[in-house]
Amino acid sequence: MNVYDGQRLAALLEKRGMAPATDVADADVILLNTCAVRAKATDKVYSALGRIRRVKKPDALMGIVGCVARESGGDAFRRVPDLNFVLGPQSYHKIIDILDNPDTKLLNIDMGGLEKFDALPPMTKSPLVAYIPVQEGCNHCCTYCIVPYTRGREISRAPIDVMRDVKTAVDGGAIEICFLGQNVNGYNYIDENGVTHRLSELIRETAKIDAVKRIRFTSSYPTEMTDDLIDMFRLEPKLLPFLNMPIQSGSPDVLTRMNRPSDANQYIDIVTRLRAARPDIQISSDFIVGFPGETDTDFDQTMAIAKHIGYINSYCFKYSPRPHTAAATMPNQIPDQIKAVRLAKLDGLLNEIQRTFNESCRDKIFDCLFEGPDKTGRHLVYRTPFMQQTIVVREQNGHTPPMARIRITDANKASLRGEFVD
């Protein structure tokens, strides 16, 4: 979502005749697009601001947008007095106001609903992967999560607006569509005739567009994985066989305190139905370790479910107490050393599962999407249908097809190596 917001902000500034600066010391406008999900992310913003203010031009406009802006509000100006603007995730389009009135200070952390989408100029050029938000905000008040506060309550965009964005992206060069939402499979739009529109319908409509080769969506809430959506994995070959559906913990007790669905069998049943619909589907998850009150037994249950489902491409985090959340004041907060030990253990297991899956891909051929050159410029990076990074040696003729059939020749924990088949 932040990548999307960043692209839209860049487009907005470019429309005003601005161009990206190569060095922060040359920039006329400096904005940090921020994440507040863990304290470390927020802290990084403030230390970056400290560094930037020492090197920036004296009259450069400097501000923060996104979730840290919403989290800090006016306090951000007290912490960093030379900030010029603080704009929340639903009001960043107001950046125009500070460009028009650079001598003022601008604070806007309003929950503007869908207003920003109408205010943003259409993107005429698109990367190969277009991020299309279908809903914003979240109604699942997980007790650790600041998102319902920073991004607000769930609100779904009208299908006609979503499909217009899809078509604009395709006309601009996109061949993969990634539908976005904090709770993307909760997408639920009731039109003026009382008809309910679901994510499955957006996938079906998008799959009809010839130029679209791949479709995915992120992030999904387990119990909102309805049959119509599961069926899409059976019916729409363009929908990638890869799903991010975080479980967070394997312990029913911890899940209850997280205010998340706590029945492991229910989660396992959803995965079973997904695999029946699409036998090669792979699932990824996010995990939190060291949630208040998490015992060794609770943690062992997390290890067990990670192994049982065989998650690929997953992330785990140490629990981080956040303002505006219920878990921050729960008793039995876990010391950092214990969190660190559990994180290392779970990370080790997830890496092992990932390595085993990557190795199982050797000699297979996948249709892959071009992502860009690697850092050395000598290789090309592609993404398999399971979103694994695949490195291919750049050919002499400079050939970089947007989609390519690639045979996997080697694999390690983090990435694959491959060669063009044709």
Q: Which residues of this protein are in contact with ligand 5AD, per CB under 6 A?
A: 37-38, 144-145, 246, 248, 286, 288, 317, 319-320, 322
From the list ligand 5AD, ligand SF4, none, pick the one residue 221 interacts with, judged by a Cβ distance below 5 to 8 Å according to partner type: ligand SF4
**Interface stretch with ligand SF4, choices 21-29, 145-153, 156-164, 196-204 (CB under 6 A):** 145-153
Q: Is 262 exposed, middle or buried (0-12, 13-18, 19+ CB in 10 A)?
A: middle
**184 makes contact with ligand SF4 (CB under 6 A):** no
x/- map, 393-422, ligand SF4, by CB under 6 A: ------------------------------
Q: Is 182 in the site for ligand SF4 (CB under 6 A)?
A: yes
Q: Which of 66, 88, 148, 290 binds ligand SF4 (CB under 6 A)?
A: 148
Please give the Cα distance from 58 to 100 (Å, whole number).
18
CB contact at 8 A, 183 and 135: yes
Residue 243 binding ligand SF4, by CB under 6 A: no
Q: Given candidates 32, 36, 111, 138, which one binds ligand SF4 under the rule CB under 6 A?
A: 138
63 or 133: CB nearest ligand SF4: 133
For 369, the token pair is 């999407």
Asked if residue 31 lies in contact with residue 9, where contact means CB atoms within 8 angstroms, the answer is: yes
Residue 104 in tokens: 């003022």
140 binds, among ligand 5AD, ligand SF4, none (CB under 5 to 8 A by kind): ligand SF4
Of 381, 387, 392, nearest in space to 358 by CA: 387
| Alpha helices (H) along 25-102 | 39-55, 67-72, 75-79, 95-100
Q: Does residue 222 touch ligand SF4 according to CB under 6 A?
A: no
Compute CA distances 397 → 140, 400, 406, whole Å: 51, 9, 17
For residue 232, the number of C-alpha atoms closer than 13 Å in the C-beta half-sphere is: 26
Nearer to ligand 5AD by Cβ, of 63 and 290: the residue is 290
Q: Is 66 in the site for ligand SF4 (CB under 6 A)?
A: no
Neighbour count for residue 275 (Cβ, 10 Å): 16
Min. distance of Cβ 285 from ligand 5AD in angstroms? 8
Q: How far is CA 121 from CA 3, 9, 10, 14, 15, in A?
A: 16, 10, 11, 10, 8
Tell whether residue 142 is a contact of ligand SF4 (CB under 6 A): yes
Q: How far is CA 216 from the centre of its chain?
A: 12
- Rounded-to-integer distance, Cα 209 and Cα 215, Å: 11
Cβ distance to ligand 5AD smaller for residue 7 or 333: 333
Distance (Å, rounded) from C-alpha 249 to C-alpha 252? 8
Q: Is 408 helix (H, G, I), strand (E, B) or coil?
A: strand
One of 147, 169, 170, 408 touching ligand SF4 (CB under 6 A)? 147
- Interaction of residue 89 with ligand SF4, rule CB under 6 A: no
Work out the angle between the directed axes of helices 264-277 and 296-309 (0-180°, nearest 10): 10
Out of 131, 221, 242, 319, which residue is the one contacting ligand SF4 (CB under 6 A)?
Answer: 221
Using the rule CB under 6 A, give the single segment among 41-49, 82-90, 136-144, 300-308 that binds ligand SF4: 136-144
Q: How far is the CB of 322 from ligand SF4 (least distance, A)?
A: 10
Task: Tell me which residues touch ligand SF4 (CB under 6 A).
Answer: 138, 140-142, 145, 147-148, 182-183, 221
